[in-house]
Amino acid sequence: MEDYIDFEEFRILGVGDKVPEFVIKVYDTVEKRFKEVNIYKDILSKGKFLVLFYYPADFTFVCPTELEDLAEKYDQIKKEGAEVIAMSTDTVYTHLAWHATEKLLENVKFPMGEDHTGTIAKMFNIYDYKSGVAYRATIIIDPDGTVVGMEVNNTDVGRDADELLRKIKAFKYVREHPGEVCPAKWGKDVNITLKPGENLVGRVYEYYKKGK
């Protein structure tokens, strides 16, 4: 078994920061077994994006609706070269029991990770010390190990997997097309990208409306 990293050595991470190498203990919902995932060796080094999809707790109310929604988009997310690990401060044993009990989770095929002490959540500053659980947070990490996207919600409002998929496509696109940026609603209602430069200053309307 690999040693878990001492997160106390690392500062709080945000967008633009490179994450350290660490291992997540997960419940594999397909193979029905516990295992460990090294985020670099098993995911990032293979050229994949990683989505850490944090939710407050198993056996709650908004959480299963989010995971069901995410499960519906999981195949599309994988096609875009990304992997998802659903995360909470529950143990893998609780994940197993919840996955076997809650009907909304019957199509969940992504691994469910354990952050029982909240050490990973604390590293991303998404841990609620009052309740002892993580906020609803989505962390997107590119294949280089850099945090490119973060969304943090309070516990009472769920997220939309369609928007997560759109963001993954956008981050993938700008990674593959340096010098281009994706405007609002790109990949949804807008199909053009922009190339920042002096010729675009004060003239975004002309280019942006052309692609809507």
Q: Which residues contact 147 (CB under 8 A, 6 or more apart)?
A: 13, 14, 15, 16, 17, 18, 19, 124, 139, 140, 141
The residues with which 140 forms a beta bridge, in sequence order, are: 51, 149
Determine which helix (DSSP H) or strand (DSSP E) holds 164, and give its type and residue range: helix 161-176
Q: Which residues contact 192 (CB under 8 A, 6 or more apart)?
A: 183, 186, 207, 208, 210, 211
How many angstroms separate the CA atoms of 1 and 17, rounded? 27
How many C-beta atoms surround the C-beta of residue 168 within 10 A? Answer: 23
For residue 182, indicate whether it is catalytic. no
The residues with which 133 forms a beta bridge, in sequence order, are: 128
How many C-beta atoms surround the C-beta of residue 9 within 10 A? Answer: 7
Question: Which member of 63, 67, 84, 112 is catalytic?
Answer: 63
What residues act catalytically? 63
